């Protein structure tokens, strides 16, 4: 059913005549008459009683029913358009994003604050867990967009955010503490403190060790960088962390040594599904980060 024909019908009733309605729409009177005739044919009823010239029109019994429903349908259509305009104008909506606990305070906290300042009407729904779980949540549609570490599987779109070198946190009295750089191959047999499961960083470190011909020796796990570094300071093992995270959680009992090579670089990206169009809220989040990318920490 043509909503335009319904609107023309409502206007004819409001003006009381075809001529006045045609002038008010505006539309030629023959075109207006044809539109109403086609509507009557589609519905199989007569909607208007045409009076003599100058007398005007009246609705039939069927026309009264159609008029009532037409007004409701047109109001719903106007409400739909208004809501879509609000979405496009970011005056309403939800931003469903996922951020991993590790590094998000340093990289994304100020960006979320900027986003909220720009779009105060958008509700930010934040999910926090390891990047592996966030990638799966994107694939399942639970969230629209998430931060993770490169590389990712090709079924997801990616937008690069930033890159940081990986640091090895060692106890201050460890033999490696006097070094500025260390190769991953030198860590064969050295016990590691690792993060809880679900962090892509764990897989990266394990893969780097395997590529150097040895298996990572796990000494303990922790979900919190502060406690993990406390374990390092106590001599329980060493730990790999991106530089900006390691520097933010500085511990006087820990020394940071840069790991040579780019295989372990901490490359942060945003990911979203390829087969789904992003909401206006999510697209605005991408645009914000592209326009104001986070800055890497100052080299040592």
Residue at a domain's end among 40, 65, 86: 86
Q: How confident is the model at residue 256 (pLDDT cuts 50, 70, 90)?
A: very high
Q: Are residues 177 and 257 in the same domain?
A: yes
The CB density around residue 220, as the number of other CB atoms within 10 Å, is: 15
- How far does the chain reach from its first CA to its final CA, in angstroms? 69
Q: Residue 300: what pLDDT?
A: 44
Same domain for 146 and 236, yes or no, is no
3-state helix, strand, coil in the chain (%, to 5): 45, 25, 30
33-75, pLDDT tens digit by residue?
A: 899 999 999 999 999 987 666 557 889 999 899 999 988 898 8
In a domain? residue 134: yes
DSSP character for 174?
S
Quote the pLDDT of residue 251.
83
In a shared domain, residues 77 and 206: no
What are the distances in angstroms from CA 36 to CA 27, 255, 286? 13, 82, 47
Measured in whole angstroms, the distance separating CA 270 from the mean position of its chain's CA atoms is: 8
3-state secondary structure of 51: coil
Of residues 83 and 30, more confidently modeled: 30
What is the pLDDT, as a whole number, of residue 246? 87
In a domain, residue 63? The reply is yes
pLDDT band at residue 194 using 50, 70 and 90 as cut-offs: very high
pLDDT score of 133 more than 70? yes
* Domain shared by 260 and 170, yes or no: yes
12 shares its domain with 76:
yes
Residue 300 lies in a domain: no
Quick: pLDDT tens for 74-89: 888 877 876 777 777 7
- 274 and 127 in one domain? yes
pLDDT at 298: 45
Q: Is residue 296 part of a domain?
A: no
Inform me whether the pLDDT recorded for 207 exceeds 60: yes
Q: Is residue 40 one of the residues assigned to a domain?
A: yes
Number of domains observed in the structure of the chain: 3
* pLDDT confidence bin for 220, thresholds 50/70/90: very high
Query: Residue 15: which pLDDT band, with cuts at 50, 70 and 90?
Result: confident
Question: What is the residue range of 66's domain?
Answer: 3-86
Q: Does 232 share its domain with 112?
A: no
Predicted local confidence at residue 87, as pLDDT: 73
What does the mean pLDDT of the chain come to?
88
Burial of 30 (0-12, 13-18, 19+ CB in 10 A): exposed
Tell which of 20, 53, 86 closes a domain. Answer: 86
254 and 282 both lie in a single domain: no
Same domain, 171 and 260: yes
Q: In terms of DSSP bridges, do strands 94-99 and 145-149 run parallel, antiparallel, or are they unpaired?
A: parallel
In CATH, what number is assigned to the domain containing residue 135? 3.40.190.10
Q: What pLDDT band is residue 189 in, cutting at 50, 70 and 90?
A: very high
**Shared-domain flag, residues 64 and 21:** yes
**Per-residue pLDDT band at 292 (split at 50, 70, 90):** confident
Among 86, 119, 148, which residue terminates a domain?
A: 86
Question: Domain of 64: which CATH number?
Answer: 1.10.10.10
For residues 269-281, average pLDDT = 90
Same domain for 132 and 281, yes or no, is yes
Residues 105 and 237 in one domain: no
Residue 299 lies inside a defined structural domain of this protein: no
**Does pLDDT of 105 surpass 60?**
yes
pLDDT band at 299, cuts 50/70/90? very low
Residue 18 lies in a domain: yes
Residue 266 tokens read as 């901490």
Is residue 283 situated within a structural domain?
Answer: yes
* pLDDT at 53 (0 to 100): 60
Question: Residue 180 is part of a domain; what is its CATH number?
Answer: 3.40.190.290
């Amino acid at each position: 059913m043509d909503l335009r024909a319904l609107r023309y019908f409502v206007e004819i009733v409001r003006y009381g005549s075809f001529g006045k309605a045609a002038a008010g729409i505006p539309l030629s009177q023959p075109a207006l008459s044809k539109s109403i005739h086609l509507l009557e044919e589609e519905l199989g009823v007569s909607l208007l009683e045409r009076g003599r010239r100058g007398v005007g029109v009246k609705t039939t019994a069927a026309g009264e029913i159609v008029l009532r429903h037409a007004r409701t349908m047109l109001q719903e259509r106007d409400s739909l358009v208004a809501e879509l305009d609000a979405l496009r104008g970011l005056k309403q909506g939800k931003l469903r994003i996922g951020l991993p606990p590790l590094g998000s305070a340093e990289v994304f906290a100020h960006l979320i604050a900027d986003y909220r300042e720009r779009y105060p009407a958008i509700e930010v729904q934040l999910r926090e867990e390891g990047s592996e779980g966030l990638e799966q949540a994107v694939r399942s549609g639970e969230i629209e967009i998430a931060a993770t570490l490169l590389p990712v599987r090709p079924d997801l779109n990616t937008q690069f955010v930033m890159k940081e070198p990986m640091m090895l946190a060692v106890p201050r009295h460890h033999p490696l503490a006097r070094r500025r750089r260390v190769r991953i191959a030198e860590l064969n047999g050295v016990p590691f403190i690792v993060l809880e499961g679900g962090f892509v960083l764990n897989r990266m470190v394990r893969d780097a060790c395997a590529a150097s011909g040895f298996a990572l020796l796990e000494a303990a796990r922790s979900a919190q960088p502060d406690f993990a570094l406390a374990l390092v300071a106590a001599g329980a093992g060493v730990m790999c962390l991106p530089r900006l995270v390691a520097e933010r959680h500085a511990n006087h009992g820990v020394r940071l040594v840069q790991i040579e090579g780019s295989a372990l670089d901490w490359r942060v990206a945003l990911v979203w599904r390829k087969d789904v169009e992003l909401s206006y809220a999510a697209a605005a989040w991408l645009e914000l980060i592209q326009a104001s990318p986070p800055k890497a920490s100052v080299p040592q």
